[in-house]
Structure 1
Amino acid sequence: MRPLTAAQMVAAAVVVARLARGRRRLPPLRALPDAGVTVSVVIPARDEAARIGPCLRAVLAASAVSEVIVVDDGSRDGTAEVAASLGAKVVTAGPLPGGWVGKQWALRQGVAAAGGEVVVTLDADTRPEPGLFGALVGALERYDLVSAAPRFVCDGVLEQALHASMLATLVYRFGPVGPASPPPPHRVVANGQCLAFRRDRMTGVDGFALVRDRMTDDVALARRLARQGWTVGFLDAGSLLEVDMHDSVGELWREWGRSLPLRDVTGPGWQVADLAVIWLTGALPVLRLAVGRPTGLDAALLAVRLLLAGALRGSYRKPGAGLLLSPLLDPASAFRLTEATLRPVRTWRGRTYPQARAGARRDTCGDARDVSGGARPALPGRSAAR
C-alpha cells in the first residue's frame, strides 16, 4: 500500500469517527421567554454603525434582557451615536493597553460595567430572537460557559459555497456542534459571536485578561477556562440566532479565512494533524476528480462530504445550490487554511497586534501562562453612559 493511500485511510477513519458523534449530539436550544434572572447584554463595537442597528433593536425588544451595553472601541463612524439613539447604554473603551487585543479589552470593560447576574456577549452582526436569552440562562444551569452556534446569512451562491466549505473544515477537525461528551480542553471550540456566563464568576477569574493577546479569543477563552475546570457548552442555536458575517466573497476569504486555523491556540502537532486531515479527506478527492483519477476511497469521501453538505442546511437561513457546490471549493479552503497557518494575520480594523507577549509560554493546549512576573491591569471601574 502506498504511503499516501495509507495516510488518507487513517484521515478518513478520523473524520468518520468525528462525524459519527452527530448521532448523539445535544438538541438545539429552544426559546424560553422568561430568563428568571437579570441579564446584561454586552456588545463590543468598532466601526459598526452600518450593522449594529438590527442587533440592538432585537436585543432591546427582548423582555428577558435587563440592560444593553455597547462598548465603543475607538469607532470613527458614529457607532456610539447610533447605539445611544436606539437606547443602549454606551461605554467608551479606554486607551488600548499594550499586549491587549481590542475585543478582549472592550469585553472586559463591558462586563465590569454590567449589573446583571448573567452576561451575554454578542457581536454587532448578530440577529438574536427574543427567546435566545432565556435559553442561554437555562443552559447555564448545566454549563459555566455557553457558546451558541448561529444560522448564517449568505448573499449569493458563491458566498454560500465558500462559507459552507470553510465551515466543513471546522466540522472535519472538531466534529458537529453540541457534542454529548465534552472534548478535552485542548480541543474545545466556541463561537465568540455569542457567549453567556455568570458575571461574578467571570470577573472572579478575570477571564478576558487571561486571553488578552489572542486573536482567536473565543476558543482561547473556552480552552483556558476548561483547563480551570469550567464546563463549556457549544450548543446549536440556529433557530434563535442569525449572523450576517461578511459583505462579499472577498471579505469572507480574508476575514474568516484568517481565523479558521486557530493558530495561536493550537499546538504545532495538532496544526499539522488538522491540515493533513483537511487536505487528505477534503481537497485530495476533489483534485483527483478534477483530473479524472479518483480512487474508490476518494469516491467514498466525496459521498461523505455531500452528506455533510446536506446536514449543514440547518446552518443557513436560505440553504441553496451553494451547499451542493461547496465540496468543489474544498481545495481552496484547504489552501486558505494552510496559508493562514503559515502566515498568520494579526491585523483587524486598522490595528496591528504584535505576536503573543514575550513573557507568555504556550503549551499544546493553546494555554498561556504569564511567567514575566508583571502585574495584570486592574479591572476598570464602571463607566458612565454616554
Structure 2
Amino acid sequence: MRPLTVFQAVAALAVGVRLARGRDRLPPLAPVGATAGRISVVIPARDEEGRIGPCLSAVLADPAVAEVLVVDDESGDGTARLAADLGAKVVVGAPLPEGWVGKQWALLQGIEAAGGDIVVTLDADARPAPGLFGALATALDGYDLVSAGPRFVCGGIAEQALHASFLATLVYRSGPIGPSSAPAPHRVMANGQCMAFRRTAMLSAGGFGRVRGHMTDDVALARTLAADGWAVGFLDAGGLLEVDMHESAAEVWREWGRSLPLRDVTGPGRQAADLAAIWLTAALPVLRLAAGRPTRLDLGLLAVRLLLAGALRGSYTRPGPGVLLSPLLDPLTAVRLTQATLRPVRNWRGRTYPRGRTCPKGTAAGVTTGDRPDRPGRAGRPAPPARSAAR
C-alpha cells in the first residue's frame, strides 16, 4: 500500500470519528418567552450603519430583553445616531488600547456598562427571531457559556457553494454543531456572532481580557474558559437566528477565509494535522475524480462529502444548488486554508494588528495555565450537567 493511501486512510478515520458525533446531537433551541434573569444584549459596532437596523429592530421588539447596548467602536459613519434613534443605549467606545483587538475591547466595555444578570452578545449582521434570548437564558441553566449556530443567508450559487465548502471544513475538523458530550478544550468551538453568559462570572474570569489579541476571538474565549472548567455549549439555533455575513463569493473568500484556519487558537501540530486531513479527505478525491483516476477510498470519501452537503442544507435560510455543488470547490477551499495558515491576515475594519502569540503546547488559546479564575460554579452556584441545556 502506498504511503499516501495510508495517510489518506488515517485521515478518513479521524474525520469519520468526528462526523459520527452527529448521531447524538442535542436538539435545536426552541423559542422561550419570559425568563427569570434580566437580559442585556450587547452589540459591538464599527461602521455598521448599513446593516445594523434590522438587527436592532428585532432585538428591541423582544419582550425578554431588558436593555440593548450598542458599543460604537469609533465609527466613521452614522452607526451611533441610527442606534440611538431606534431606541438602543449607545456606549461611546474609548480609544483602542495597545494589544487589544477592537471587538474584544468593545465587548468588554459593553459588558461593564450592562445592567442585566445575563448578557447576550450579538453581531450587527445577526437577525434574531422571537424567543431566541429566552432560549439562550434557559440554556445557561446547563452551561456557563453558550454560543448559537445560526442559519446563513447566502445569495447566489457561487457564494453559497464557497460558503458551504468552507463550513464543511469546520465540521471535518471539529464535528457537527451541538455535541451531546463536551469535546476536549482544544477542540471546543463557538460562534462569536451570538454568545450568552452570566455577566458577573465573565467579568470575574476576565474572559475578554485574556483573549484581547486574538483575531479568532470567539473560539479563543471558549477554549480558554473550557480549559478553566467552564461548561461551554455550541447549540443549534438555526430556527431562531439568521446571519447575513457576506455580500459576494469574493467577500466569503477574503473575509471568512481569513479566520477559518483558526491559526491563533490551534497549536502548530494540530493545525498541520487538520490541514492535511482537509487535503486528503476533501480536496484529493475531487482532484483525482477530475483526472479520471479516483480510488475506491476516494469514491467513498466523495459519497460522505455529498451526504454532508445534504445535511448542510439545513444551515442555510434558502438552500440552493450551491450547497450540493460545494464539494467541487473543496480543492480551492484547501488552498485558501493553506494560504491563510502560512500568511495570516491581521487586518480588520480599517485596523492592522501586530502578530499575536500562537497557542503554546499545553494551554488553551494561547493563555498560560497559571492564575486561572475559578469556574462560575465554584464562585456561587453549582455547575449543572451539560446535558440539562437540552430541556
Normalization by structure 2: what TM-score? Answer: 0.93
In structure 2, runs of 5+ residues without a counterpart are 371-391
- Counterpart contact for 1:140–1:197, Cα < 8 Å: yes
Distance change in 2, residues 1:2/1:370 (3 Å)? closer
Structure 1 counterpart of 2:360 = 362
Structure 2 counterpart of 1:4 = 4
Structure 1 consecutive aligned stretches of length 4 or more whose deviation exceeds 6 Å:
none
Letter in 2 for 1:14: A
Residue 366 of structure 1: how far off its partner (Å):
2.4
1:97-116 deviation line (CA, Å, top 9, x unaligned): 00000000000000000000
Equivalent runs, 1:82-231 vs 2, <5 Å: 82-231=82-231
Structure 2 counterpart of 1:379 = none
Letter in 1 for 2:234: F
Structure 1 counterpart of 2:275 = 275
Structure 2 counterpart of 1:374 = none
Residue 339 of structure 1: how far off its partner (Å):
0.5
1:14 matches 2:14: yes
Q: Secondary structure at the match of 1:31?
A: coil
Residue 206 of structure 1: how far off its partner (Å):
1.6
1:219-268 deviation line (CA, Å, top 9, x unaligned): 00000101111000000000000000001111110100010011001000
Structure 2 counterpart of 1:262 = 262
CA distance in 2: counterparts of 1:256 and 1:35, whole angstroms: 34
In structure 1, runs of 5+ residues without a counterpart are 372-386
Normalization by structure 1: what TM-score? Answer: 0.94
Structure 1 counterpart of 2:50 = 50
Letter in 2 for 1:368: V
Distance change in 2, residues 1:111/1:305 (3 Å)? same
CA distance in 2: counterparts of 1:195 and 1:71, whole angstroms: 16
Aligned residues: 369
Q: Secondary structure at the match of 1:317?
A: coil
CA distance in 2: counterparts of 1:355 and 1:5, whole angstroms: 37
Letter in 1 for 2:327: P
- Counterpart contact for 1:129–1:240, Cα < 8 Å: yes
Q: Secondary structure at the match of 1:368?
A: coil
CA distance in 2: counterparts of 1:250 and 1:208, whole angstroms: 30
Residue 35 of structure 1: how far off its partner (Å):
2.1
- Counterpart contact for 1:152–1:316, Cα < 8 Å: yes
Q: Secondary structure at the match of 1:134?
A: helix
Distance change in 2, residues 1:29/1:361 (3 Å)? closer
CA distance in 1: counterparts of 2:277 and 2:368, whole angstroms: 30
1:60 matches 2:69: no
CA distance in 2: counterparts of 1:36 and 1:247, whole angstroms: 38
- Counterpart contact for 2:359–2:365, Cα < 8 Å: no
Q: Secondary structure at the match of 2:309?
A: helix
Structure 1 counterpart of 2:251 = 251
- Counterpart contact for 2:69–2:114, Cα < 8 Å: yes
Structure 1 counterpart of 2:382 = none
- Counterpart contact for 1:223–1:367, Cα < 8 Å: no
Q: Secondary structure at the match of 2:330?
A: helix
Distance change in 2, residues 1:105/1:194 (3 Å)? same
Letter in 1 for 2:366: D
Letter in 2 for 1:179: P
1:130-182 deviation line (CA, Å, top 9, x unaligned): 20001001100000000100000001011000000000000000000011110
Structure 2 counterpart of 1:375 = none
Residue 320 of structure 1: how far off its partner (Å):
1.0
- Counterpart contact for 2:266–2:359, Cα < 8 Å: no
- Counterpart contact for 1:146–1:195, Cα < 8 Å: yes
1:326-383 deviation line (CA, Å, top 9, x unaligned): 00000011110110000000000110000126xx973353232399xxxxxxxxxxxx
CA distance in 2: counterparts of 1:175 and 1:103, whole angstroms: 27
Letter in 1 for 2:226: A
Letter in 2 for 1:21: R
* Amino-acid identity (%): 71
